[in-house]
């Protein structure tokens, strides 16, 4: 019986660590997603600037 309780108490910190690691993983995934969305918007903006600049050069 004592081994059973020792095993349960030893598992508790591991499960807490797993929950913390899961939370960290989700936070990293969210930050990467927002970074990718920002990068996509920035590339789109640069592409629009490039197109408008090329149009201006064409008219000169």
Per-residue pLDDT averaged across 51-56, rounded?
Answer: 68
- DSSP secondary structure, the chain, as one string: -HHHHHHHHHHHHHHHHHHHHHHHHHHHHHHHHHHHHHHHHHHHHHHHHHHHHHHHHHH-
Per-residue confidence at 46, pLDDT binned at 50, 70, 90?
Answer: confident
Per-residue confidence at 5, pLDDT binned at 50, 70, 90?
Answer: very low
Q: Is the pTM of this model over 0.75?
A: no
Per-residue pLDDT averaged across 43-47, rounded?
Answer: 73
Pick the residue with more confidence: 3 or 38?
38
Residue 45: its pLDDT value, please?
A: 74
How many Å apart are CA 60 and CA 53, to the nearest integer?
Answer: 11
């Amino acid at each position: 019986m004592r081994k059973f309780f020792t095993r349960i108490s030893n598992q508790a910190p591991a499960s807490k660590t797993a929950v913390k690691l899961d939370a960290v993983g989700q936070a990293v995934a969210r930050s990467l997603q927002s970074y990718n969305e920002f990068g996509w918007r920035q590339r789109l903006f640069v592409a629009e600037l490039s197109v408008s600049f090329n149009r201006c050069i064409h008219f000169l």
